[in-house]
Structure 1
Amino acid sequence: MADTLAIMKMSPVIPVVTIHSVDDAVAMARDMYDGGLKTIEITQRTQVALEAVRAIAQAVPDLCLGVGTVWTAAQAHEALDAGAQFIVSPGIADEVGAVCRDADLPYLPGAQTVSEVAHLVRQGWQQIKLFPASVIGGPSAIKAYAAVFPDVRFCPTGGITEQSAPDYLKLPSIPCVGGSWLATPATGDEPAGQSPTRAAAERAARLGR
């Protein structure tokens, strides 16, 4: 199993997706993988999220599948049972971290402030999600965070767009960003026969290069 940093380096963007339809989720995940993105985070915010995780794990087995918005140990166990290959929390959730350690499961805990990052570092975490990135000050703020925590690698998420992502990815402390724009409606600019999600994934896979 890959470690957290290896997962962060798989693609410049980890799609962050809230699922409302299992069938749509499988098609979307396949489009993202075929477009060049190797990871996805399914947020645990809907009733069908874990069902979608199971379906995606079966239909797109090479996609590195994460479950996000995990706050409790019970949710972490449910995600693990559903087939999660990594778990993400939007903020500090030490009991989730404990489950992931026991299961040897990659974990990306969340923080917003310098004090929260310091807490996670004391807990032994060196890869941290910063959420919501646009609210805490964007790339300039994260550059300052990295000066205080030079060994930490960050995955900023929240308010990031296809246009702003390169400003984050040029920072050496940021191997990837989380993006919710990937599951996108059609714009009319896609190649004939190509879904807008796959087109967005292809563009995202080239970011930071």
Structure 2
Amino acid sequence: MLQTNLERCPLVAILRGITPDEIIAVSQALIDSGFTIIEVPLNSPRALDSIRLLSQHFGDRALVGAGTVTDVAQVDAVASAGGRLIVSPNCDTEVIRRSVALDLVSLPGCCTPTEAFAALAAGAQGIKLFPATMISPATVSALRTVLPPVPILAVGGIDTADFARYLAAGADGFGTGGSLYRPGCSADEVRARAEASVQAVAQALAPVETKICE
């Protein structure tokens, strides 16, 4: 599920601070722009209500769920709201195992090889390299040589200007938050930013794909 969505668009929209009143219009703008993965961090206002609305309106068109998930009770709450994606800022194997047990996609935050391998052993379907400002493209390349072929996403402080270097190093995608949405942004503003991000990642992917084909 995660891999398929990343192949369609290697970007995760992180809507930190969004409210249920905004979620439908903003998510529609994202999906219209090509996004297929949407995350509502649990420290957003009434986050579970937003996730419930997301699931009801877009669950058949996108992988939707929660970010900043830090304990098992939160995993259960997200599942009850219809979310299918569990994104964490850390590597908590109990959170990962509970997510897998509920047939949810687990994307834990990792910053070291030890954390990444522990996450995969617990059943994580991908690795969120976080915060990416601490993890250079050279480090991504080194990790890629030892990790199995699972999706790796760079998240935290990443902007469109960074896409090409991280993709060339072996990253599979990115989480994009503040450069895409901030509280108070209109759906039209998000649409323009989303379209620019999708275009930027497509341009960044082109030389990578050409190099692979050669």
Question: Paired residue for 2:160, among 159, 162, 174?
Answer: 162
Residue 200 of structure 1 aligns to which amino acid in structure 2? R
Query: Who is 2:194 aligned against?
Result: 201
Residue 196 of structure 2 aligns to which amino acid in structure 1? R
Query: Per residue, is there more helix in 1 or in 2?
Result: 2
Contact 2:105 2:125 survives alignment (8 Å)? no
Q: TM-score, normalised by structure 1?
A: 0.85
C-alpha RMSD of the superposition: 2.2
Question: Paired residue for 1:55, among 47, 53, 56?
Answer: 53
Contact 1:9 1:176 survives alignment (8 Å)? no
Tell me, which stretches of 5 or more residues in structure 1 are unaligned?
Answer: 187-193
For 1:24-80, what per-residue CA distance to the aligned partner results, in whole angstroms no more than 9, with x for missing partners? Answer: 222111111111111111111134111111122233342321211111110000011
Q: How does 1:1-209 map to 2 (within 5 A)?
A: 2=1, 4-61=2-59, 62-125=61-124, 127-136=126-135, 138-171=136-169, 173-180=170-177, 181-183=179-181, 195-206=188-199, 207=201, 208-209=205-206
Q: TM-score, normalised by structure 2?
A: 0.83
Question: How many pairs align?
Answer: 198
Report the secondary structure of 1:205's partner residue: helix
Tell me, which stretches of 5 or more residues in structure 2 are unaligned?
Answer: 207-214
Question: Structure 2: how far apart are the matches of 1:92 and 1:152?
Answer: 16
Report the secondary structure of 1:23's partner residue: helix
- 1:82/1:167 Cα in 2 relative to 1: closer, same or farther (>3 Å)? same
Percent of matched pairs sharing the same residue: 29
Question: Structure 1: how far apart are the matches of 2:39 and 2:167?
Answer: 18
- 1:185/1:74 Cα in 2 relative to 1: closer, same or farther (>3 Å)? closer
For 1:10-37, what per-residue CA distance to the aligned partner results, in whole angstroms no more than 9, with x for missing partners? Answer: 3121111113421122211111111111
